[in-house]
Structure 1
Amino acid sequence: MLKFVSLSREMPEKRPANLRAQDFHEIYREFAAQKAEEQASRCSQCGVPYCQSHCPLHNNIPDWLRLTAQGRLEEAYEISQATNTFPEICGRICPQDRLCEGNCVIEQSGHGTVTIGSVEKYITDMAWENGWVKPGRPMVERSESVGIIGAGPGGLAAADRLRRAGVQVTVYDRYDRAGGLLTYGIPGFKLEKPVVMQRIEQLEQAGVKFVMNCKVGEDLSFDAIRGQHDSVLIATGVYKARDLQAPGVGAKGIVAALDYLTASNRKSFGDDVPEYDSGELNAAGKRVVVIGGGDTAMDCLRTAIRQGATSVKCLYRRDKANMPGSQRETQNAEEEGVDFVWLTAPKGFTGGEYVEGVMVQRMRLGAPDQSGRQMPELIEGADYVEPAELVIQALGFEPEAIPTLWGVPELAVTRWGTIKADFKTHATSLPGVYAAGDIVRGASLVVWAIRDGREAADSILAWLAQPASVAAE
């Protein structure tokens, strides 16, 4: 260990931009065993591991780095799996530059961070390859059952934890495949779909039941689900797109980011996607403009490149230093041919039935707001029109009006429309009903949803263990 002075930081080899932009395969190659051990040995094993404290799951990162450096990969995987339900997914899509790696002690000392995410991906992929990953079948079956609404990362993490404890678990989801945004929202070049499907298959092998194509409030009432189970977890995520209010916004060719990404991911599964085949949700041969600066915007930009767009531009109202998305993803997009137009914002759209361009306002950064970020200010007289045949709005997501849609007005929500749940226990205003993930905290990271799901599962287990008279209060 402690080789960070003599060994420089290295990432796995990245496929050339001109080649990776032609397909949806992941862009990083695997570490070789020797290279993974070398990079893991750079960990300083510091007394206060900021990488661990800045990880939402508080993964025991120094421990599994040390074991990897020693070639003890199965033990490294067991340590990683102990705190993280899906380490192979987090190793691929977590913004490590903002979390663990961004707070690495040797990064702060100028030696370059340990490549934590890549090592995590390596040891978990090796675990799958060698058969060390086993379904979480319980030692003893219990009679209690829990219904989970939402098969995204939060719901699946809770399902895994509950099933290992012997509880009977049924997951309900609106889509035809489980995984939520892992399946339909994140492109394959960041997270190849077999990686997600193998986890879902393992949950099924462990005894988790999935009820797919089930829209709560339409196909099955919320009260019916409550009646079938001893406890219910709401983990629906947030899917309602924020719309831009501007002249011409209703023109054809202006689409929501999630609709666009879902169509592309469905196509990768071999599904029949009429909206893609017709060109409505396909960037091939088009000038594309993406509005937004988060990770979803990066996914749309890089997807459009792979679909064969003639040009791909990103409009963002602040500068590069103030982007909310991962700097690593921004760099990948730039390498692949995306043109970032900083300090710009749309004020409307040109064209008639079909969009022909975006009316763009130029901005400058003014005084900081209450969060410390500089506020964009309009530059008068600097407007112009950016030609476009496809405009993708990636402005974030909002919660759906669940109490209204599900007919449960007694389910308390916040002023933002998210479900009001206890910060520690994730209990809602309804007895025996819990909520976790984005539907509580708003659109956030997958790793936070996993943490919430695990915590909610623990709270449900504690609630189920209470006497019936206490639980009913």
Structure 2
Amino acid sequence: MSSKMLQFTHIEQQSPDKRAAETRKQDFNEIYGGFQDDRATDQASRCEQCGIPFCSVHCPLGNHIPDWLMLTANGRLEEAYALSSSTNSMPEVCGRICPQDRLCEGSCVLEQSRHRSVTIGAVEKYITDTAWEKGWVQPIAPTEERSESVGIIGGGPAGLAAAEQLRMQGFQVHVYDRYDRMGGLLVYGIPGFKLEKDVIARRVDLLERSGVVFHPNTDIGKTVTFAELRSRHDSILIATGVYKARALTIPGAGLTGVHKALDYLITSNKVSLGDSIEAYTSGELNAAGKDVVVIGGGDTAMDCVRTAIRQGAKSVKCLYRRDRDNMPGSQREVANAEEEGVEFVWLAAPEALLNEGTDQAVSGVRCIRMHLGIADASGRQSPEPTPGSQFVLPADLVIEALGFEPEDLPAMFGEADLTVTRWGTLKTHPRTLMTSLDGVFAAGDIVRGASLVVWGIRDGRDAAASIGRYLNEKAVAQAAE
């Protein structure tokens, strides 16, 4: 074992420098800097090199975290990147946006023993950014080109991860996406202050130089039929994600000024990318000068409140029916939002959206205080209203960040034989990930429901391995005929 490890007893945990709130809320650039070489090696050397690496156990990708921390501590960065990228198709993304406090860092033995965890995410980002800078990240060069082709529907995390793995196997890969840029929610759902868009653009460019063919502005069922797509390719992977937003069902939900989180975020991200969007220019999806109320407590809600701050909102409040300890979003994101001026209204739920003017515009949110009652079967306490505790929050813009559900893919694709679960997600074989249609596979949120980017990457890689086995078995069978 390296003599540089186990330094947690005399090296304190340090994170990369974070820009001051007053500065960072003026733009959409990432708020965290990168480690300098000496700080990265110092922080990596804090790793305890546990016999059972719980950081890896609780990483959806099973990343070899202690191993690449040790390589980093010893200055062997090219090897560290090779090891990191062997299990992760986008380590530069995961290092930036994974909720490490809930996954690897939250499971770090040092965190449990009150020495504070190794800053795994920041080191992962440092390793990969260094690899890009040094030219170690090279296009895929398959050892053998295969004639079989795979069509991937969806250019998000699962689709891009699968494309990488399938090209490594030598298959011809085509990725179709309804939007004009590849990346899915990485580009249009996650704001630049968490993930700058050139990070995704260079990964997409790398895949293109590796031979992956991208088809933007392609809406399956409209631009091209699903049946036609199946006829073009030897196998299909559906990795569309889930885009149907859950909506409020309270009085006033149809007022103007009430918008879905994804519509708001997509507009903001497109403007940041240089696009001209009428809904933003007109002020419809622009928070400037407005009292903004975001309803929800997940990471999407955090993205919305922090975007509204940067757009120059008059006030920004996040309304959530549970308390801080029970919210699904990252505690780190909550802290960042508070620093930037967001006010959290805990244990409160919307009862109605108000309209006090002559037009149909929202003017406020009538709320009711909640308290946490008896725990349900999952162990989570259910929020219950407190009678007579109503109050009103002024609002010119209300954003619904209540989560996402699957779209009706069988209807969209015109494929009634595509079986779904009672939740609307695609039903797949638990081992092969094949759907009810032969040669058609599915991965990511469209199978597991709305989840983390890191799970999308894992699912895409698993699906690529399964598609590879399917096509190999098919080739063997055809050769034997």
Same fold (TM over 0.5): yes
Displaced runs of 4 or more, over 3 A? 467-471
User: Would you say how many aligned residue pairs link Structure 1 and Structure 2?
Assistant: 471
Q: 1:300 aligns with which of 301, 304, 309?
A: 304
Shift of 1:470: 5.9
Question: How is 1:74-223 mapped onto 2 (pairs within 5 angstroms)?
Answer: 74-223=78-227
Structure 1 residue 385: Cα displacement: 1.4
Give how far 1:106 is off: 1.0
SS at match of 2:459: helix
Partner of 2:324: 320
CA distance in 1, matches of 2:132, 2:270: 25
Once the two structures are TM-superposed, the CA of residue 469 in structure 1 deviates from its matched residue by 8.9
**Cα distance, 1:348 vs. partner?**
1.1
Between the aligned partners of 1:161 and 1:31, the Cα distance in structure 2 is 29
1:468 and 1:46 map into 2 onto residues whose CA distance is: 44
State the 1:423 CA deviation.
Answer: 2.3
With normalisation by structure 2, the TM-score equals: 0.97
Determine the structure 2 residue equivalent to 1:467.
474
Deviation at 1:255, TM superposition (A): 0.3
Which residue is 1:339 aligned to? 343
Distance 1:237 1:424 in 2: 20
Per the alignment, residue 435 of structure 1 pairs with 442
The unaligned stretches of length 5 or more in structure 1 are none
Q: Secondary structure at the match of 1:232?
A: strand
Helix, strand or coil at the partner of 1:151: coil
Distance 2:271 2:297 in 1: 25
Q: Which residue of 2 aligns with 1:390?
A: 397
How far 1:110 sits from its partner (Å)? 0.9
Give, as a single letter, the amino acid of the residue that structure 2 aligns with 1:272.
Answer: S
Q: AA paired with 2:96?
A: R
Question: SS of the counterpart of 2:454?
Answer: helix
SS in 1 for 2:28: coil
* Matching residue within 408, 416, 421 for 2:428: 421
Task: Report which stretch shifted further, 422-431 or 160-169.
Answer: 422-431
- TM-superposed CA distance for 1:6, in Å, is 0.8
Identity %: 64
TM-score, length-scaled by structure 1: 0.99
- Whether 1:361 aligns to 2:365 is no
Shift of 1:155: 0.3
User: Does the residue aligned with 2:363 lie in a helix, a strand or coil?
Assistant: strand
Query: Amino acid of the residue matched to residue 80 of structure 1?
Result: S
Shift in Å at residue 468 of structure 1?
A: 5.6
- Greater shift, 227-236 or 378-387, is seen at 378-387
Q: Which amino acid aligns with 1:39?
A: Q
Secondary structure of the structure 2 residue equivalent to 1:355 = coil
Q: Residue 81 of structure 1 aligns to which amino acid in structure 2?
A: S
CA distance in 2, matches of 1:334, 1:202: 37
2:239 corresponding residue in structure 1: 235
Q: Deviations over 1:222-273 (max 9, x none)?
A: 0100000000000000000000101111111000000000000000110011
Cα deviation, residue 137, structure 1: 2.3
CA distance in 1 between counterparts of 2:53 and 2:287 reads: 44
Provide the rounded CA distance (Å) in 2 between the counterparts of 1:406 and 1:39.
49
CA RMSD of aligned residues (A): 0.9
Partner of 1:444: 451
AA in 1 matched with 2:281 = D
The answer on 1:291 being equivalent to 2:299 is no
Runs of 5+ in structure 2 lacking a partner? none
SS at structure 2 position matched to 1:302: helix
Question: Which amino acid is the alignment partner of residue 421 of structure 1?
Answer: T
The Cα shift of 1:347 comes to 1.2
2:410 pairs with 1:410: no
Q: Distance in 1 between matches of 2:448 and 2:383?
A: 26
Is 1:11 equivalent to 2:18 in the alignment?
no
